[in-house]
Amino acid sequence: MKVRTGKSLTVKTITIIISSILFISLFASLSACGKKDAEADSAGRHVFRAEVLETGNGSMTVRPVEGSAELRSSDKFSVHLKNLPASPEPQNGDIVEITYEGGILETYPASFENVISSVVVEQGKERKENSEDEKGTEVTVESCIPEKSVLWLPDDENAAKLIADMNDGKLPTECNVLYDQMGQFPDVTVTDPEEITELYSRLALMTAGEKTEMSITDCYHHISFHLQDGTWVFWNFEGEELLSRGPENIEVSDEGGLWDEVRRLQEEVMGNEE
């Protein structure tokens, strides 16, 4: 009669247990291969901050800031910016706040399963220095107008509105000019933004002098601007050197060469009509 010993049964049982443990461990490893997870919020989203190292071709390379869980996974991440919500374009040195969901893919640089947003929350040193430089050299339309410009004449609210619009980049929709030499020249309407800006700049350089009783009755010039809100702003002249303001005339000096530019435009129109 054969008798089974407890020893042989125990060895077999231990072998089965060890094999099962190894199998489960191997399965878990295979399941997690290629992906790492950081702690997520209740909505399953992860939020962390990183410094921008490089940008280009619709993506950026970032390094998680010290203390973030993502830094334990990799020191560099590649983030695609296409189709993300609008945000200031990231530049090297900026700190961005990245929101993503899913796991971390074990590439290098590492990447994410699904990036939801990337927002610049702090400007880098280079961007700040550039901004300060631009601010220091900023030139407004208003700052280029001479102190005695005809645009500064008192009691002219529409002129002030024109200056404000030009300073805000709201160019008039059109400008009408006429240099009248006994009816020999036509009035001209321009709508090209560059030409409107040129005429405005030349008018701004025209300076006002003293009031005068002098009058010229056979030569009238004018320039007017049609603002975006529908307002017309205009200046009438008797000859090149007298600005008409109601019953008064004011001596002016055409230092910006406004009438030279107006005559050029008139001659251009007349040449096209021939």
Range of the domain at 208: 147-273
Q: 0.95 cut: is pTM over it?
A: no
- CATH code, domain with 58: 2.40.50.140
Report yes or no on 59 lying in a domain.
yes
Confidence at 146, pLDDT banded by 50, 70, 90: confident
3-state secondary structure of 118: strand
Residue 108, domain member (yes or no): yes
Alpha carbons 186 and 190: distance in angstroms, whole number: 13
Same domain as 164, residue 101: no
Span 163-188, mean pLDDT? 86
Listed residue (175, 258, 244, 181) closest to 214, CA to CA: 244
Number of independent structural domains in the chain: 2
Does 256 lie in the same domain as 166? Answer: yes
Can you tell me the distance from the alpha carbon of 33 to that of 105, in angstroms, rounded to the nearest whole number?
9
Q: What is the pLDDT of residue 40?
A: 56
**Cα-to-chain-centroid distance, residue 254:** 37
Q: Are residues 180 and 247 in the same domain?
A: yes
The answer to the question of residue 6 being in a domain is no
- In terms of domains, do 246 and 159 share one? yes
Q: How do residues 245-270 score in pLDDT, each as one tens digit?
A: 777 889 999 988 999 999 999 998 88
CATH number at 179 reads 2.60.40
Q: Which of 126, 157, 192 is at the close of a domain?
A: 126
Mean pLDDT, the chain, integer = 79
The three-class DSSP label of residue 224 is strand
Q: 178-221, pLDDT tens digit by residue?
A: 988 766 788 899 999 999 999 999 998 999 899 888 887 667 88
Share of the chain above pLDDT 90, in %: 28
Q: Out of 152-156, 169-173, 208-212, which region has the weakest mean confidence (pLDDT)?
A: 152-156
Q: What is the DSSP letter of 84?
A: P
